[in-house]
């Protein structure tokens, strides 16, 4: 990074016609200083740096983005600066809130909970039935490989243009990742632990509740975290193929046609923030439920 800045400054001195915009130099200076500061923080290895470092890294990326776009005079139709995106967010809060409720709360969350609950129940049925284990899991791998852009229009035709079709797409996307992880978690206990429960004359359900489900929790939460990222993606993609006059996917598709890239990026920012908070909430619940697991020890 320092070498790149020196080359730019040298080119400006050797070739007077080569003008370097001050925004570019300022953004590069901020980036270099923040980079070195992050290196210092990483060497300290303090617990507080786990939040400071990614925040600082993200801020410097935004500063670099702003400086490069303004310095090279990039058209806002191609890439708007972060300041324009932030202004659009501030001016469009009511619209963004309606889109957030429609896509995330109604479509993504409902499909997430329905799909994960169904996967949990089916995983227990598969654990009880070798026939289902041999027959359903290969079919699940096949369905999980189906492209979402092919499933979404079918779900819209089946369930209409409301939130139900978006929830159906999300159910298909989250069901099999959670199912596979849950089945693997139920098989995670070793034979000695199961034999110990048998010596206590424990029934299948007692063994399931007291031994196998607790052991499966790390696997389950791994599937839930994967599903949390897929849920919002599925709901947004489903809105590309049919939606009422609201929703993140609907807004993105219509604004792209009108070259409103600032609104598109505003929707992307809201979706990224919502997805990150949702993932963080599941990770926080995981820390409380699986506090005994080695992965949660610091």
d(CA 244, CA 256): 17
Q: Find all residues with CB under 8 Å of 173, minimum gap 6, and list them.
A: 111, 115, 148, 227, 230, 231, 233, 234
* Residue 92 Cα to chain centre, angstroms: 23
Eight-state DSSP code of residue 17: T
Q: Do 103 and 248 contact (CB within 8 A), yes or no?
A: yes
- State the Cα torsion 45-50-54-55 to the nearest 10°: -110
What is the reported pTM? 0.79
Rounded alpha-carbon distances, angstroms, from residue 184 to 138, 154, 181: 14, 31, 5
pLDDT in tens, the chain (298 residues): 445 555 455 445 444 444 556 767 777 777 777 776 767 766 776 666 667 777 777 888 888 888 888 877 888 888 888 888 999 999 889 999 998 998 898 889 999 999 999 999 998 888 887 777 777 777 777 777 777 777 888 888 888 777 788 888 899 889 988 998 998 888 887 778 777 777 777 777 888 888 888 888 999 999 999 999 889 888 888 888 776 678 888 888 888 888 888 899 999 999 999 999 999 999 999 888 887 777 666 5
């Amino acid at each position: 990074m320092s070498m790149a800045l020196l080359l730019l400054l040298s080119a400006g001195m050797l070739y007077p016609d080569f003008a370097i915009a001050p925004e570019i130099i300022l953004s590069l200076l901020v980036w270099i200083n923040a980079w070195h500061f992050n290196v210092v923080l990483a060497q300290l290895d303090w617990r507080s740096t786990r939040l400071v470092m990614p925040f600082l890294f993200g801020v410097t990326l935004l500063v670099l983005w702003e400086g490069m776009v303004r310095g090279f005079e990039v058209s806002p139709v191609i890439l708007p600066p972060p300041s324009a995106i932030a202004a659009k967010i501030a001016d469009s809060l009511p619209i963004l809130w309606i889109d957030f409720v429609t896509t995330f709360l109604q479509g993504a969350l409902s499909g997430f909970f329905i799909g994960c609950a169904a996967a949990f129940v089916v995983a227990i049925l598969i654990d009880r039935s070798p026939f289902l284990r041999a027959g359903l899991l290969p079919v699940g791998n096949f369905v999980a490989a189906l492209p979402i852009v092919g499933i979404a229009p079918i779900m819209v035709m089946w369930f209409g243009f409301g939130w139900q079709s978006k929830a159906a797409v999300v159910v298909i996307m989250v069901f099999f990742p959670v199912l596979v992880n849950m089945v693997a978690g139920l098989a995670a206990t070793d034979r000695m632990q199961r034999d110990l429960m048998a010596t206590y004359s424990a029934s299948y359900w007692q063994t399931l509740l007291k031994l196998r489900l607790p052991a499966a929790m790390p696997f389950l939460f791994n599937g839930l975290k994967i599903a949390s990222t897929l849920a919002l993606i599925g709901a947004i993609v489903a809105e590309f193929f049919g939606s009422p006059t609201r929703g993140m996917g609907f807004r993105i598709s219509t604004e792209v046609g009108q070259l409103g890239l600032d609104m598109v990026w505003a929707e992307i920012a809201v979706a990224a923030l919502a997805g990150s908070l949702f993932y963080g909430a599941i990770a926080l619940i995981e820390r409380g439920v699986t506090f005994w697991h080695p992965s949660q020890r610091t």
